[in-house]
Amino acid sequence: MTERIPEHRVKHGTENAYRRHIRWSETPCEKCKKGHRLYTKERRAKLRRQKGVLQQILSAGEGRLKLTDAETREILETIRKELGL
Ligand SMILES: [Zn+2]
């Protein structure tokens, strides 16, 4: 995190490269912007799928508890931490 990766070793278009731009206060290049958009889109889709699974589990009982997006994120975050992911 302290050393700057030489420009020729950066794989532009990846999330890491996008974050590198941000970290060095650069405007991300087009390739990285595109990569980041895709990453964000996939992340959201993944969260939606996970929320669907959680919702199924929770509604299997009598309770039929509806979760908000924030609650889902919090639960998933806790599970991730517990599993060390
Ligand atoms: Zn880039």
CA of 81 to the centre of ligand 1 (A): 30
Of 67 and 29, the one with more pLDDT: 29
Cβ atoms 28, 22 nearer than 8 A = yes
Q: What is the pLDDT of residue 79?
A: 83
User: What are the backbone angles phi and psi of residue 83, rounded to the nearest 5°?
Assistant: -85, -5
Q: Percentage of the chain surpassing pLDDT 70?
A: 86
Average pLDDT for residues 53-66, to the nearest whole number? Answer: 70
Q: Give the confidence band of 2 by pLDDT, cuts at 50, 70, 90.
A: low
For residue 14 the two structure tokens come to 């990846």
Q: What is the pLDDT of residue 16?
A: 94
CA of 27 to the centre of ligand 1 (A): 9
**Long-range CB pairs of 34-43, under 8 A, 24+ apart, other chains included:** 39/15
CA of 63 to the centre of ligand 1 (A): 48
Looking at the chain, the number of H-run helices and the number of E-run strands are 3, 0
